[in-house]
Amino acid sequence: MPMSIPRKPQLAKLVVSTFMQDKHLFQEAVRVLSEAFGSVDMVSPWLPFDQTDYYTAEMGAPLFRRFISFDKLIQQDDLADIKRHANDLEGHFSKHRKRLVNIDPGYMLAERFVLASGKNFTHRIYLRAGIYADLTLIYQKDRFRPMDWTYPDYAGETVIDLLQSIREKYMFQLGRSGDQLPEV
């Protein structure tokens, strides 16, 4: 069996989920995110946020979500810095020590979708600076598939369909057809 030879990792597509109660904050959120991460190439329609009541005490209800993807591809190991910057931006959108906007960055590769988290759990891998990588979806049989631990909203068809369309853009950026996976 040949030895594993380290290679430069594939560039990733930055995808950010935002959710908030006040939809008027979205344009300002996009502005500060694009200042930090470059031009936006896709903004989803408003989606209901069907998460548990975890955020209700802090952010109110109902909450609304939009996904944003960025034109510039990123290095995978930048995810920790991106999450820390997103946390700072959430502070920018806080009032009386409560967030008004939640910003959850992740990245997409042809074969998976990974979210950043500041919380450890059994399936999360530590990156650095208090940030973990959460393998959220894998790409199998021409579709993103949830894992046992995938948040219910990310496992839902609406979000998976949206991420499928972002993946098509990403594959186009890489110059590959949608069904090609990288060589292992």
pTM tops 0.85: yes
Instruction: Please state whether beta strands 101-109 and 94-95 pair in parallel, antiparallel, or not at all (unpaired).
Output: unpaired
154: left (phi over 0), alpha (psi -120 to 50) or beta: alpha
Residue 31 has pLDDT above 90, yes or no: yes
Q: Which pLDDT belongs to residue 49?
A: 82
Closest CA to 69 of 171, 138, 153, 150: 171
| Res. 181 pLDDT band, cuts 50 70 90 | low
Q: How far apart are CA 72 and CA 13, in angstroms?
A: 7
Rounded to 5°, angle at Cα 122 from 118 and 127: 45
Residue 77 has pLDDT above 80, yes or no: yes
Q: What is the pLDDT of residues 101-130, one digit of tens each?
A: 999 999 999 999 999 999 999 999 999 999
Amino acid found at 123: H
Question: Mean pLDDT across the stretch 20-41?
Answer: 96
CA torsion through residues 104, 105, 108, 113, sign? negative
Q: What is the pLDDT of residues 164-179, one digit of tens each?
A: 999 999 999 999 755 5
Instruction: Please state whether beta strands 13-20 and 64-70 pair in parallel, antiparallel, or not at all (unpaired).
Output: antiparallel
Partners of 47 in beta bridges = 65
Rounded to 5°, angle at Cα 121 from 69 and 30: 20
Task: Specify whether domain 13-174 bears CATH 3.30.70.
Answer: yes
| 36 exposure class (CB count in 10 Å sphere: 0-12, 13-18, 19+) | middle
Residue 156 has pLDDT above 90, yes or no: yes
Average pLDDT, the chain: 93
Q: How far apart are CA 136 and CA 153, in angstroms?
A: 11
Domain boundaries, the chain: 13-174
